[in-house]
Amino acid sequence: MSRFDGKTILITGGGSGLGRATAVRVAQEGANVVLVDVSEKGLEEARQDVLSEAPNVQILTVTADVSKEDDVAGYVGATMEKFGRIDGFFNNAGIEGKQNLTENFTNDEFQRVLAINLSGVFLGLEKVLPIMREQGSGAVVNTASVGGIRGVGNQSGYAAAKHGVVGLTRNSGIEYGEHGVRVNAIAPGAIWTPMVEGSMKQIDAENPRRAAEQFVQANPTKRYGEPHEIASVVAFLMSDDSTYVNAAVLPIDGGQSAKY
């Protein structure tokens, strides 16, 4: 018996990086998966990845923008229509935004990052939590960041949004615990995904590889995390191995956020 046999796991940002790796992981453990992303190409690649690892699971892909309320209602509705329940929700889609000092950040960019990284997470919670409350069970994992528990610099929008995700997580966790629903967050450090590759290009457009090597020296492990190292923890938080973990924010960062 696998941990996710017969369960439905809904994943935003499922077309790439952490979302895609988590889809593969939970599908390997028996889950049917719903993948949501703005990128149709990413969704198709993720579908192939999942099916090559777990040919017998059912997959639904939904193209949607998590910052748009109608799209969120659409992906939740499509999930319910196909599977009739949501056992786990990895509320994960996000962007980094343009790096800049606060005084140069611009309100437009600030609002853009908040719309996806914070409102997108709220809208997902707003529409999924009543379903889980009705079921009397369910586990949500929101994606925060080390940038949601520490200052990083040059990331006003990202920092505000990810600190906000931590707040939403604690707030919803204490609201829904009595209904058998858990809401936790992960705070990943630097995990090698297309987003972090893009970040290194922002830091040093001419030599992103050098920027990447320097950046990771601050980490106690002296290496980047890999998406599967996030997926295993997200799977744990969505499984019955973590039934007393609620409203928690878990760093997955090789110890970086503990460092003085």
Ligand X SMILES: NC(=O)c1ccc[n+]([C@@H]2O[C@H](COP(=O)([O-])OP(=O)(O)OC[C@H]3O[C@@H](n4cnc5c(N)ncnc54)[C@H](O)[C@@H]3O)[C@@H](O)[C@H]2O)c1
Least gap, CB of 254 to ligand X (angstroms): 11
Number of alpha carbons in the 13 Å side-chain half-sphere of residue 74: 15
> Rounded to the nearest whole angstrom, what is the least distance from the CB of residue 225 to ligand X in the complex?
7
> Is 224 in the active site?
no
- Joined together, the tokens standing for residue 209 give 């590889």
Nearer to ligand X, 35 or 181 (CB): 35
Q: Which amino acid is at 97?
A: G
| Residues written for the chain | 260
Where b means 16+ CB within 10 Å and e means fewer, 154-172 reads bbbbbbbbbbbbbebbbeb
Tell me whether residue 84 or residue 258 sits nearer to ligand X (CB atom): 258
Shortest reach from residue 24's CB to ligand X, in Å = 13
Q: Tell me whether residue 4 or residue 90 sits nearer to ligand X (CB atom).
A: 90
Q: How far is the CB of 1 from ligand X (least distance, A)?
A: 30
Binding site for ligand X (CB under 6 A): 12-13, 15-19, 37-39, 42, 65-67, 92-95, 116, 120, 143, 145, 188, 190-191, 193-196
Q: Residue 12 or residue 184: which is nearer to ligand X going by CB?
A: 12
- In whole angstroms, the minimum distance from the beta carbon of 119 to ligand X comes to 10
- The residue (of 94 and 138) whose beta carbon lies closer to ligand X is 94
Are the C-beta atoms of 159 and 152 separated by less than 8 Å? yes
Which residues are within 8 A (CB) of 60 and not within 5 positions of it... i.e. 6 or more apart? 32, 33, 34, 35, 78, 79, 82, 83
Residue of 75, 158, 224, 244 with catalytic role:
158
Alpha-carbon span 122 to 43, nearest angstrom: 22
* Active site residues per annotation: 158
